[in-house]
Amino acid sequence: MSLQLSSLLRHSLLSPTSRAVIPSFRVGKVPTSFAAVPTSLAAVPSRSAVTSVVLKRLEEKKEQALLGGGQHRIDAQHKKGKLTARERIEVLLDEGSFIEWDRLVEHDCTDWGMEKTHFPGDGVVTGTGTINGKQVFLFSQDFTVFGGSLSAAYARKVCKIMDHAQMVGAPVLGLNDSGGARIQEGVASLGGYGDIFLRNVLLSGVVPQVRRGLYDLR
């Protein structure tokens, strides 16, 4: 509060015979800064309407994540005799045991036009499940999304399941099908590999780690 306004209010309170003249807007005249404010409650979307839109968008993202890079790329994988990242998980784990983590994660790269292309999951499926009733943590690289190449966000997903595997003493499984580092992200991608390799060392002798390129798993 400015000193001038403060003294004006103090004078008004201490001296009943004097009235402080406080500026006010004229009735019927809306300041230009308030012109965009809706004058009717009907113009404001209801909470249920907003929630409905958000939930619809969320379901669309979930469905998009299941398709990876799209049906045409899935078909291309099948023509090569290869299963997709999700199909490999279904074959490997006990039926219905897989719980996916971070399905909607997307990369945050803005170089080389990457801000225009996003796929929920960002090229790797991560989570936990069981094999013969025993808990495991795993990641499965998705070649249909940017050739399965590793981004910084992708690396964070892998590191997350490795950290949880260490905490609970469960094995880490990696199903590889990748073109390597995502070149558009440069050193950020290489840094992601560094974070994963660090965990490989820290988990060595603590929990089993198995990584395999299961290209012919059918």
Q: What does each C-alpha distance from 181 to 67, 134, 147, 187 come to in angstroms?
A: 22, 32, 10, 9
pTM above 0.95, yes or no: no
State whether residue 136 is helix, strand or coil. strand
Give percent above pLDDT 90 in the chain.
45
pLDDT of residue 4: 54
Do 125 and 100 meet the contact criterion of CB atoms below 8 Å apart?
yes
Q: How does pLDDT run across 78-122, given as a tens digit for each residue?
A: 999 899 999 999 999 999 999 999 998 888 888 888 888 888 888
Q: Give 212 or 163, the one with higher predicted confidence.
A: 163
Q: Give 124 or 29, the one with higher predicted confidence.
A: 124
For residue 203, what pLDDT band results from cuts at 50, 70 and 90? very high
Across 22-32, average pLDDT: 49
For 43-83, give the secondary structure using H, E and C.
HCCCHHHHHHHHHHHHHHHHHHHHCCCCHHHHHHHHHCCCC
- For 24-28, 49-53, 105-109, which range has the lowest pLDDT when averaged over its residues? 24-28
Q: Give 14 or 91, the one with higher predicted confidence.
A: 91
pLDDT of residue 36: 55
